[in-house]
Structure 1
Amino acid sequence: MKTNIFKSVSLFAVVIAMISFTANPIKKKTLNTQESKIEWEGEKLTGSHEGTIMFKEGYLNMDGDKITGGEFIVDMTSIVATDLEGEGKQKLEGHLKSDDFFGVANHPTAKLTIKNATKKGDSYGVIADLTIKGKTKPVTFDLEMNGDTATTELTVDRTEYDVKYGSGSLFDNLGDNVIYDDFELDVTLKF
């Protein structure tokens, strides 16, 4: 009887040791915020504007070479227009930071939280929650991985996040002042 108990305990200890040595622990890949960026483009009836936004922090959770999650915090106070100079640039940046658009005084950050990532060759189909101005909505996109760099293009409907200024789908009689609801984001993540 003692021999059977001893064998059972020994077998259990061996199994636990094997699991702990063979299991791939989840590792956190920390975002290099200085080399990562978001390039944005917003269109209106009479043209478009483009610029950049910087990350405050972020990471990917990795199980070996597979993404299992992650979170990225965007510094909304860093919104910059790159297609303008001088007073026009300052005016647009101030307006984008105002309550008409992103209200950065009350909402200085936005957040993307990866809920699921399904590997598809060299890319991932990602399901995430995007939070802008305190409103959280699900988004889906493809994320391309190449070593320590990840890239994606993402289209966001700003009206879902209470960014309604100049929206032709919400307001009548805007004429040439219509600003399209969707804006484009080109994201480059460096780890």
Structure 2
Amino acid sequence: MKKSYLSLAVLSVALCFTSCDEVAINKATFALDEELSVVEWKGYSPTVYHHGAFAVESQGIEVVDGKVKGGVFSIPIATIQNFDLPDEMKPVLLEHLKSPDFFNIALHPSATFKITNVKSLDAPVNGATEGANYTVTGDFTMLGQTHAITFPAQIETDSGGLRILADFQLDRTMWGMNYAADPALGEHHILPKVDIKLNLVAHKE
């Protein structure tokens, strides 16, 4: 009987060395490179547009068997930038965007995105970033509201690096950002949909 128990113990240890090693090899966390990662935005009226960017932060992106499985990203609204206006005009636009008319930064200093599902993309999607190979679904929280969004993305991983590229649109009114969203305003109308461009770079921890 003692030999049987000993054999079972040896077998358990052997299985742990094989299966546990496989789990350790196949599961990894990638740290976001915040210097290289950016979320760009472009908003439109009927006659003009404005283009800018936000910084993005993350505590880590989970990758299993070479595929992204999870991650939470935070966008500090105070990092908002504008690229198209003269320097003397940029503060006017940026302060308005931080105000209660738009992001209401005093009450909601950040927006967050939590990945809930990533699956292979079987067919091309109009407007998607070139080389999109996955569909990403997650919960996007802004202005105290959370709604699920889905978008195509190009995701590339290797032994030491990860990159996520995506182009899609968000309807700001879904989160209650309704300022100037009425088409009756004519040239002062601000279109509800905003172009979003992701460029996320991460390195294996």
Aligned to 2:164: 150
Instruction: Give the count of matched residue pairs.
Output: 188
Paired-residue identity, %: 27
Alignment of 1:28-177 (within 5 A): 28-120=29-121, 123-147=133-157, 148-168=162-182, 173-177=184-188
- The answer to whether the aligner puts 1:185 opposite 2:185 as a matched pair is no
Aligned residues of 1:58 and 1:73 also touching (Cα < 8 A): no
| TM-score computed with the length of structure 1 as normaliser | 0.89
Deviation at 1:18, TM superposition (A): 1.9
Structure 2: give runs of 5+ residues left out of the alignment.
Answer: 123-131
Q: Does 1:15 align with 2:15?
A: yes
Q: CA-to-partner distance for each residue in 1:23-70, whole Å, 9 max, x for gaps?
A: 235321111111111111001122211111111335311113111111
The secondary structure found in structure 2 opposite 1:68 is strand
Shift of the alpha carbon at 1:188? Answer: 0.5
Q: Distance in 1 between matches of 2:189 and 2:59?
A: 34
Paired with 1:4 and 1:90, the residues of 2 have a C-alpha distance of 76
SS in 2 for 1:186: strand
Is the 1:66–1:119 Cα contact (8 Å) retained in structure 2? no
Q: Secondary structure at the match of 2:35?
A: coil
Give the CA RMSD over aligned residues.
1.9
Question: Partners of 2:5 and 2:52 in 1: how far apart?
Answer: 69
Q: Partner letter of residue 83 of structure 1?
A: D
- Specify the alignment match of 2:2 in structure 1: 2
Unpaired runs of 5+ in structure 1?
A: none
Q: Separation in 1 of the partners of 2:149 and 2:51?
A: 22
CA distance in 2, matches of 1:13, 1:56: 40
Q: Could you report, residue by residue, the CA deviation over 1:131-161 in whole angstroms, capped at 9, with x for unpaired residues?
A: 1112111010122124532210121110111
**What is the CA distance between 1:175 and its match in structure 2?**
2.7
Higher mean displacement: 99-108 or 53-62: 53-62
Name the one with the larger strand percent.
1
Structure-2-length-normalised TM-score: 0.83
Contact persistence 2:133–2:155 (CA under 8 A): yes
| Structure 1 residue runs of 4 or more that deviate by more than 3 Å after TM superposition | 119-122
Cα distance per residue 1:156-190 (max 9 Å; x no partner): 11011111100126xxx423211111101111111
What secondary structure is seen at the aligned counterpart in 2 of 1:18? helix
Counterpart contact for 2:32–2:57, Cα < 8 Å:
no
What amino acid does structure 2 have at the position aligned with 1:123? N
